[in-house]
Amino acid sequence: MALPPHQSPTGDTTAMQLHTYFRSSAAYRVRIALALKGIAWDAVPVHLLKDGGQQKAPAYRALNPIGLVPTLVDGDTVIPQSLAILEYLEETHPTPALLPAGPVARARARAMALTVACDIHPLNNLRVLSYLRGPLDQGEEAVNAWIAHWIAEGFQALEQMAEGPDFCLGGAPGLADLCLVPQMFNARRFNIDLAPYPTLVAIDAHCQTLEAFQVAAPAQQPDAA
Amino acid sequence: MALPPHQSPTGDTTAMQLHTYFRSSAAYRVRIALALKGIAWDAVPVHLLKDGGQQKAPAYRALNPIGLVPTLVDGDTVIPQSLAILEYLEETHPTPALLPAGPVARARARAMALTVACDIHPLNNLRVLSYLRGPLDQGEEAVNAWIAHWIAEGFQALEQMAEGPDFCLGGAPGLADLCLVPQMFNARRFNIDLAPYPTLVAIDAHCQTLEAFQVAAPAQQPDAA
């Protein structure tokens, strides 16, 4: 069987390992970055639903104390938190750059990425939806309204912040696009109406034409069985 | 009236402006950084409860599209998102450094900061608690249990990640401490039992002995009337 393009050749013991779940939008961000930078890596699947959640297992928590995906392992270095991983990849593999030159442009890119990573995604990930359904005893209608609310709050802001038409900022894919595209995937999965966000839709569509975004997509992952 | 130590002299039109709310832990992070780096700034108070939430006013949203504090204004540059602001300050005012040297150490610091900024704080800020009390019709007992749950999840991880005894990582205050100390303030405000986190308690106590952390504290702000 041919290995998917993002997989390092068998026996490449120097390859980075990414503990990933195909549908995790935080892991998806990192997969795009690895592909853009042409870094060889091996997937270590962490199934968020099987076995009561493999991310909660002690062996995984030894790598990632809060028990969330992704985790990057680069030799002896273990890094949790997708945005910390992206900055690490940027510092260790600077070309092609995920961040523009100059502190002002970099701040704009980070602000867009953080709008996804702090203001949308943490409210709609699995552990939070499980808490709504469990301890708060909310039905699917209330859960879906919750999801839609926080996506709308964030996307309204991002629609104003994004330049477009091809990328969030500037003429090349960067940190903001790496966060936006997985969040658009999530929004579609939850049947969010994207009509109010034409700039975001156009950026997502353009990014989807690039191989790095294609190979990083959830459906292309080995654990997407 | 004597100006507080963080205020720039009247008439200093080159001073940065921070749109801040005394009790916002995201604004508190930035206030510590400005004090550590000795940057002159003026406070522009944004009261999160008055006038139905001044952060929702169109004039503020023109600066900060998602309507959250803080926002930094540096001349013509407007930056939302506290972690984007901290990285901007680090790049424009590198001394004293908030991040250590070397990509591995920097990744560890960012991972701790993001554990607060992505995995704890977004779940417990005002807009989320308002949604729990409003659309989800939750009482104070359920809201307090929600707050305690996400703080415990995050603090258990941070307790493992932190070196201590004085700072999260290394021998000087940095990005992780700037995020931890305001989150400890929030935890105390919500009466969270901190006994399970002796390393975090020790770090917080040591940071509180430093002037930069003292002048940045909520009670010291001009809008803490």
Q: φ and ψ at B43, to 5 degrees?
A: -85, 135
CB atoms inside a 10 Å sphere around CB A10: 8
Of A36, A5, A6, A3, the residue nearest A20 (C-alpha):
A6
pLDDT in tens, A41-98: 999 999 998 888 999 999 999 999 999 999 999 999 999 999 999 999 999 999 999 9
Task: State the nearest Cα–Cα gap between B1 and chain A, in angstroms.
Answer: 35
Mutate which of B25, B77, B81 to test chain A, going by most A C-beta atoms within 10 A?
B81
Q: Does A149 touch chain B (CB under 8 A)?
A: yes
C-alpha to C-alpha distance for A158 and A163, rounded to whole angstroms: 10
| Nearest by Cα to A114 from B86, B22, B60, B168 | B86
Query: Do B68 and A149 lie within an 8 Å CB cutoff?
Result: no
Contacts of B188 (CB under 8 A, 6+ apart): B194
Starting at the edge strand that comes first in sequence, how are the strands of the sheet with B71-74 ordered?
A: B41-45, B16-20, B71-74, B77-80
Q: Which positions 111-130 of A are in contact with B (Cβ < 8 Å)? A: 111, 114-115, 117-119, 121-123, 127-128
C-alpha A105/C-alpha A111 separation (Å) is 10
pLDDT digits (tens, 9 = 90+) for A174-221: 999 999 999 999 999 999 999 999 999 999 999 999 999 999 999 999
Return the number of other C-beta atoms located less than 10 Å from residue B220's C-beta.
Answer: 14
Side-chain-side CA neighbours of residue A3 (13 Å): 11
* Spatial separation of the C-alpha atoms in residues B142 and A57, rounded to whole Å: 27
Chain centroid to Cα A83, Å, comes to 9
- pLDDT band at A11; cut points 50, 70, 90: low
Of A79, A107, A131, the CB nearest to B84: A107
Asked if the C-beta of A66 comes within 8 angstroms of chain B's C-beta atoms, the answer is: yes
pLDDT at B4: 46
Contact B58, B2 (CB under 8 A): no
Cβ-count burial B104-138 (b if 16+ within 10 Å, e if not): bebbbbbbbbbbbbbbbbbbbbbbbbebbeeebeb
pLDDT, tens digit, for every residue of B105-148?
999 999 999 999 999 999 999 999 999 999 999 999 999 999 99
Chain B nearest-CA distance from A85, in A, is: 7
Predicted pLDDT of residue B38:
97
Q: What is the mean pLDDT of chain A?
A: 94
Domains of chain B: 16-96 (3.40.30.10), 103-211 (1.20.1050.10)
Encoded amino acid at B140, one letter: E
The helix/strand/coil state of A43 is strand
Instruction: Give the minimum alpha-carbon distance from B202 to chain A in angstroms, rounded to a whole number.
Output: 20
DSSP result, B93-148: S-SS-SS-SSHHHHHHHHHHHHHHHHHTHHHHSHHHHHHHHTTT---HHHHHHHHH
Q: Is B140 on the interface with A (CB under 8 A)?
A: no
Residue type, A42: D
Q: Tokens 């130590």, residue?
A: B5
B88 with A66: Cβ contact below 8 A: no
Whether the ipTM is more than 0.90: the answer is yes
- Please list, residue by residue across B9-45, b when 16 or more beta carbons sit within 10 angstroms of its beta carbon and e when fewer do: eeeeeebbbbbbbbbbbbbbbbbbbbbbbebebbbbb
pLDDT tens column, B57-116: 999 999 999 999 999 999 999 999 999 999 999 999 999 999 999 999 999 999 999 999
**CB pair distance less than 8 Å for A83 and B135:** no
